[in-house]
């Protein structure tokens, strides 16, 4: 889903998109010159692999997402939640895929391994 920066105004524009059983739902609103605020929620299930035992498990997502989007290069070193779309087009699919990849790339433990101090030795 792609939305032109110039189409986003001061009235919140609703958005909804699903990818891999994860859904982003929220609004886009102009927050300043060359700035758009994405205020959304990630919901759904994401298959993950336990980093301790290697088993596949489903993680339930219900996470707020607040990002600033810009169509210019950002010089602001304090705000790390800025995504730049220099072609003037907001790519919501790219944002959702990036969030899924960020969650997938973190360490995850299944329910049986979470908080366990037991030594784990598995031969593959």
Q: pTM for the whole thing?
A: 0.79
Residue 67 backbone dihedrals phi, psi, to 5 degrees: -135, 150
Q: What is the pLDDT of residues 13-24, one digit of tens each?
A: 999 999 889 999
Q: What is the pLDDT of residues 73-82, one digit of tens each?
A: 876 666 667 7
Q: Confirm if 24 and 65 have CB atoms less than 8 A apart.
A: yes
Q: Exposed, middle or buried, 36 (CB in 10 Å: 0-12/13-18/19+)? A: buried
Ranges of each domain in the chain: 2-105
Q: What is the pLDDT of residues 17-64, one digit of tens each?
A: 998 899 999 999 998 888 889 999 999 999 999 988 889 999 999 999
Whether the per-residue pLDDT at 118 is higher than 80: the answer is no
Question: E strands along 20-121, which residues?
Answer: 22-32, 35-49, 56-70, 82-84, 89-91
């Amino acid at each position: 889903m792609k939305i032109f920066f110039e189409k986003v105004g001061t009235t919140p524009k609703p958005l909804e998109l699903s990818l891999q059983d994860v859904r982003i739902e929220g609004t886009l609103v102009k927050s300043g010159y060359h700035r758009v605020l994405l205020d959304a929620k990630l919901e759904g299930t994401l298959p993950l692999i336990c980093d301790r035992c290697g088993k596949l498990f489903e993680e339930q997502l219900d996470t707020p997402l607040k990002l600033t989007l810009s169509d210019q290069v950002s010089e602001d070193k304090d705000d790390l939640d800025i995504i730049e779309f220099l072609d003037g087009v907001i790519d919501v699919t790219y944002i959702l895929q990036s969030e899924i990849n960020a969650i997938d790339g973190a360490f995850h433990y299944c329910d049986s391994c979470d908080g366990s101090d037991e030594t784990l030795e598995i031969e593959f």
